[in-house]
Amino acid sequence: MQMTDDYEYRGLMAQAWDLLRGDYSTWPDRPFYRAIIERQGGPALDVGCGTGRLTLDYLQAGIDIDGVDNSPEMLDICRAKAAALNIDVTNRLFQQEMDALDLPRTYATIIVPSSSFQLLTDEAAAANALRRFHAHLAPRGVLVMSIMSQLWPGDRTPPHMKWTDWMKAGQKPRPEDGVLIRRQTRVRYDLDNQLEHEENRYELVVEGEVIQTEEHSRIPAVRWYTQQQTIAAVESAGFADVRLTSGFTEDPASEADTTFCVIGTRP
């Protein structure tokens, strides 16, 4: 089955999202974003909240936070998880695109975790999203986004526009019925335009037999940014005091950091 809807996280991709990611309770971005939100005070917004990895954790801790995502299926999973945890998400979850953000209130902090900003591969859409983030921040509000400047492993630059072999990206049995969910992926890199193309194959396997297959293709899938490009884009949207941190720390990013966070303030 070829999945062709406009939003990416759907079908088996959405259903397997939490399962294949595993235990993310010790991921370093969790305390990093929380510390900034608590330091800022006031409400926060989780952009690309998905199934609620951070939103639900922070709500459980008493933090005033909303979530927005463009996938209705991921948001449905988030609501189901919230209900199971007895967390009230009424009027807290919104289905919108980043570059058309139009929410009823402003925030002291907007976080864009998991490099979700980079899913906006069109440069005009990315610029619009930054302007919408700026418009949804209160004065002295802070935007925090994680960014990757390199999407491939290792130091060797991959060939231009050549597909990798299919790779097994993960597999686990579903807890409810033991059916194995397997994800395979392949990628290619447009080095000239800083774009990754990605194809994913999700399979349901019972006793070694594939009983269902979904093909998810997104071309392009992700845009990468250099540190200098990141700073320029955020400043162009009207943010001040823009700085980069090394990974999910408060230390300044070094030139060698390929995963970093950008922090900007609405004047």
| Predicted local confidence at residue 4, as pLDDT | 42
Residues of the chain with pLDDT under 50: 1-4
Q: What homologous superfamily does CATH list for 2-150+226-265?
A: Vaccinia Virus protein VP39 (3.40.50.150)
Domain spans, the chain: 2-150+226-265, 167-222
Please give the single-letter amino acid code of residue 42: G
Q: Which two tokens stand for residue 5?
A: 């809807």
Q: Which two tokens stand for residue 67?
A: 């979530």
Number of C-beta neighbours around residue 123 at 10 A: 12
Whole-Å CA distances, 46 to 52, 54, 58, 117, 137: 9, 8, 10, 12, 12
Task: Name the residue among 73, 99, 111, 115 with its Cα closest to residue 221.
Answer: 115
| Predicted local confidence at residue 8, as pLDDT | 80
CB 189 within 8 A of CB 151: yes
| Predicted local confidence at residue 119, as pLDDT | 97
Task: Name the residue among 27, 73, 77, 80 with its Cα closest to residue 54.
Answer: 27
| Predicted local confidence at residue 100, as pLDDT | 97
Please give the single-letter amino acid code of residue 65: I
Express each pLDDT in 248-262 by its tens digit: 999 999 999 999 999
| Predicted local confidence at residue 6, as pLDDT | 60
| pTM for the structure as a whole | 0.95
Express each pLDDT in 109-152 by its tens digit: 999 999 999 999 999 999 999 999 999 999 999 999 999 999 99
Give the relative orientation of helices 227-236 and 123-135 as an angle to the nearest 10 degrees: 50
| Predicted local confidence at residue 2, as pLDDT | 40
CB 75 within 8 A of CB 18: no
